[in-house]
Chains A and B, each alone.
Chain A
Amino acid sequence: MYGMAHRALRQMMHDRLGASTWTKVERETGTGPADLISLCVYDDSKTIALISASAAHLGLPVEEALRDFGRYWVRYAELSSFGPIMDFTGQDLVTFINNLDRMHRSVVLAMPDARVPSFTLLDETRQRLLVRYRSERTGLEAFVIGLLEGLMDRLNETGTVHVAERTENAAGTVIDFAIELDRT
């Protein structure tokens, strides 16, 4: 993953358990300032190690920590200096999801090694969105649920997210997420 994720995780740990706990996470995982450059791409094992160590300090199962982190990630990105890019991507849920791939394609121009996921809006009704997520990675389902929940928070929507269908193979993951919106 890219360093922005590590920075977001650092900020989340600072907010929840304080800087000293993050220092312990860094020590446990051999992480330093060079692993926290937003637009550098790092090996996934580094990110997984950081999340696992953070989950242990938070007293959460890794899946739950991933979901929390997904939600936090959206808020972090919005409040960080990358906030304008979030605004540029969209100010409502449908526009945002529809524009995500274009935003990611632009981001990849600056980070050729980044392996970004793809999001496609398969179906849209007033109260339900069906979003297809494709990724070379596996095991990030909870993180994506957190991301979609974080997006709802950001765009003043409420609702739930669940997995409608899942396919995982050697090529990666394809998951259809259903977003049930509390709209009347």
Chain B
Amino acid sequence: MKPAVTIRESQLGALFRAYIKVDAALVVMTVGPFYLNRDTAVVPGASIAELFSLRQDRDDEIATPLETAIPAMADTPERLELFCKRKNIRLAGIVFSTDDGYLLALNIVPEDFIIEGQGLHISDFSQIDASVPALTLIGMQRALLAEARQAAIDLANAQSEALELLDRTQRLGRYIVHDLTNYLSIIRLNVANLARSGGSAETSRAAIEAATRHVGDLVLSLERLTGHRDVEATPIPLDQTIRSNLAFLAAALPSDFTLDFIGGAGQAAVRVGRTELVTMLTNVIVHARGAMPDGGSITISTYRSDVGPDADAPVSEGGWIVIKVIHDGPAMDEQTVRLMLDPQALARPDGADFPLRSARTWARSIGGDARITALPTGTDICIHLPIAGEAGAEEPHIAPVAAVARPRVVRTARVLVVEDEVHALDAVVEILRMEGYVATPALNAAEAIEALSGSEFDILLTDVVMPERSGVELAHEVEAQNPSIGIILMSGYFPDESLLKPHWHMLRKPLDLSLLSQTLAASHAKRADITAS
């Protein structure tokens, strides 16, 4: 009988990539392309029964022998499933009888439909085998799951970085607001001086010019920080910059202090904003001043070093500049020193060591670091900055800000002014004295309480954010002892209203001088009424 369809071996191989033709004794005669270059031993002359089993459990003695199963399945629709004994390969198909034996029309069955580790290629499957898209799609799904997992990790990392950046930005923002407020106070003081005197105009002009330049640079820093402007700081010579701003820095200290500078860094330059550097040093000096109630000496020195701040510091190819600030004030214990730079306490804007933390944050933001060490007398503040090159140009000299005597309008109101920033304190006290008030300065709540124990005051004018005890706490304590005293709070921040009493006055910093004057007058008038009644 003529066969209904004649199929060539090449066509057979295209349809059934793993076909095997065997004789009646189940000895292999020809095989499909799947077996090429695969160490399966499925070659002409081999015995099917030795190469394959019907069940995956190859040692199972109860499995039907292939010698029985293949003839029984021939020309039936029953599925033949074979497992290779030498390789982890599974084949499936149907059995046809032929003139000289059997045709096992087989294709590969991928194990668990996972591509990895099976050594299978697309060309191992026939053109119409749905296994190829199935395997590809499953592979894509697994790849997408891996991508989704990685995306989730990336997202978590990005979120963490964003939160950290936000935290750092908020902190730096607070520092900048804090510094801007100081500079604005200096400007206002000197503008008032200019308006009222003829003798010290040049000094005031120089102070205003220096302060406005620093404010302008701070604005640039803020723009860099917020990404508003892509500004790259150009390297500046450190020693020259400190030397030319030394008079400005000295202006932050009362007359019972000395400030010395020993420059040993030569022409080494650092990539920082000029005003960022001056502001940082001002903060450190103001901090040192606060720790030295009886005055003393502060020395700034610089030197080059090949050694970074610590082993974890980024590599600085040009080496390091170290700025040391040493003072001879009272010694501090190790715990106090450690807490000064404790990163866990950084979120508090009103910490006692606010300026020092801002110095460390600043140093780290440009690849350096700041450390503080307790000495038998005083402390040693050490700031490492990476060297960015060598420079030569001289810095313009900035005239020192000097206090100037003013004609006064005599008034009798006595005002206790409490402000932890010496520039701002000087400015407010100066203005009040020019207005005719008897103004007494205090740098913190403790100094204020001490002043109150020795003198009587009509008005307490206090900053809110201060180290150790806030202005709000101080106001409550002072009013409890002296209910008739007028309370005026001033702050760049709005404190929690629930902590304030309704009859207290609140002024926003930087201070509006006319508003300050009006508020003092109103508070004093009220105090006079209470006293009279």
Task: List chain A positions with a Cβ less than 8 A from chain B.
Answer: 33, 37-39, 80-82, 84-85, 87-91, 95, 98-99, 102-103, 105-107, 109-110
B120–chain A nearest beta-carbon distance, Å? 7
Contact across chains for B121 and A38 when beta carbons are under 8 A apart: no
The 4 residue pairs across chains A and B that have the minimum distance between CB atoms: A106-B136, A81-B146, A81-B143, A99-B122
B160–chain A nearest beta-carbon distance, Å? 16
Contact across chains for A85 and B123 when beta carbons are under 8 A apart: no
Contact across chains for A102 and B115 when beta carbons are under 8 A apart: no
- The chain B residue with its CB closest to the CB of A7 is B147
- The chain A residue with its CB closest to the CB of B155 is A33
Interface 0/1 of B127-139, CB less than 8 Å to A: 1000011011101
What are 30 A-to-B residue pairs whose CB atoms are below 8 Å? A33-B151, A38-B143, A39-B144, A81-B142, A81-B144, A82-B139, A82-B140, A84-B115, A84-B143, A85-B115, A85-B140, A85-B143, A87-B116, A87-B121, A88-B115, A88-B120, A88-B135, A88-B139, A90-B122, A90-B123, A95-B121, A102-B127, A103-B136, A105-B133, A106-B137, A107-B136, A109-B133, A109-B136, A109-B137, A110-B137
**B133 contact set on A, CB distance < 8 A:** 105-106, 109
Given known contacts A80-B143, A81-B146, is B136 in contact with A99 (CB within 8 Å)?
A: no
**A109 contact set on B, CB distance < 8 A:** 133, 136-137
Task: List chain B positions with a Cβ less than 8 A from chain A.
Answer: 115-116, 120-123, 127, 132-133, 135-137, 139-140, 142-144, 146-147, 151
A74–chain B nearest beta-carbon distance, Å? 16
When chains A and B are docked, how far (Å) is the Cα of A178 from the Cα of B163?
53
**A82 contact set on B, CB distance < 8 A:** 139-140, 143
- The chain B residue with its CB closest to the CB of A85 is B139
Is chain B's interface secondary structure helix, strand, loop, or mixed overall?
helix
**A110 contact set on B, CB distance < 8 A:** 137, 140
**B115 contact set on A, CB distance < 8 A:** 84-85, 87-88
- The chain B residue with its CB closest to the CB of A94 is B123
**B144 contact set on A, CB distance < 8 A:** 38-39, 81
- The chain B residue with its CB closest to the CB of A24 is B230
Is chain A's interface secondary structure helix, strand, loop, or mixed overall?
helix
**A38 contact set on B, CB distance < 8 A:** 143-144, 147
Contact across chains for B140 and A88 when beta carbons are under 8 A apart: no
**B132 contact set on A, CB distance < 8 A:** 102, 106
When chains A and B are docked, how far (Å) is the Cα of A101 from the Cα of B414?
92
- The chain A residue with its CB closest to the CB of B118 is A88
> Which of A33, A84, A88 meets B122, CB within 8 Å?
A88
Supplied contacts A87-B121, A99-B123, 10 more A-B pairs, CB within 8 Å:
A37-B147, A38-B143, A39-B140, A81-B143, A81-B144, A88-B120, A88-B122, A88-B139, A99-B121, A110-B137
A123–chain B nearest beta-carbon distance, Å? 19
When chains A and B are docked, how far (Å) is the Cα of A106 from the Cα of B125?
13
Contact across chains for B121 and A88 when beta carbons are under 8 A apart: yes
When chains A and B are docked, how far (Å) is the Cα of A81 from the Cα of B137?
13
When chains A and B are docked, how far (Å) is the Cα of A173 from the Cα of B264?
69
B366–chain A nearest beta-carbon distance, Å? 16
**B137 contact set on A, CB distance < 8 A:** 106, 109-110
**B120 contact set on A, CB distance < 8 A:** 88
**A80 contact set on B, CB distance < 8 A:** 143
B38–chain A nearest beta-carbon distance, Å? 12
When chains A and B are docked, how far (Å) is the Cα of A107 from the Cα of B151?
22
When chains A and B are docked, how far (Å) is the Cα of A102 from the Cα of B129?
11
When chains A and B are docked, how far (Å) is the Cα of A107 from the Cα of B140?
8
**B135 contact set on A, CB distance < 8 A:** 88, 106
When chains A and B are docked, how far (Å) is the Cα of A85 from the Cα of B132?
10
B164–chain A nearest beta-carbon distance, Å? 16
When chains A and B are docked, how far (Å) is the Cα of A61 from the Cα of B4?
63
**B122 contact set on A, CB distance < 8 A:** 88-90, 99, 102-103
Contact across chains for B123 and A98 when beta carbons are under 8 A apart: yes
Contact across chains for A81 and B121 when beta carbons are under 8 A apart: no
The listed residue with most B CB atoms (<10 A of its CB), out of A37, A84, A107, A109, is A84
When chains A and B are docked, how far (Å) is the Cα of A88 from the Cα of B123?
9
**B146 contact set on A, CB distance < 8 A:** 81
**A87 contact set on B, CB distance < 8 A:** 115-116, 121
- The chain A residue with its CB closest to the CB of B110 is A88
Contact across chains for A95 and B123 when beta carbons are under 8 A apart: yes
A153–chain B nearest beta-carbon distance, Å? 19
A164–chain B nearest beta-carbon distance, Å? 25
When chains A and B are docked, how far (Å) is the Cα of A109 from the Cα of B115?
18
B371–chain A nearest beta-carbon distance, Å? 29
Contact across chains for A91 and B121 when beta carbons are under 8 A apart: yes
When chains A and B are docked, how far (Å) is the Cα of A84 from the Cα of B116?
6
- The chain A residue with its CB closest to the CB of B142 is A81
Contact across chains for B123 and A84 when beta carbons are under 8 A apart: no
When chains A and B are docked, how far (Å) is the Cα of A38 from the Cα of B147?
8
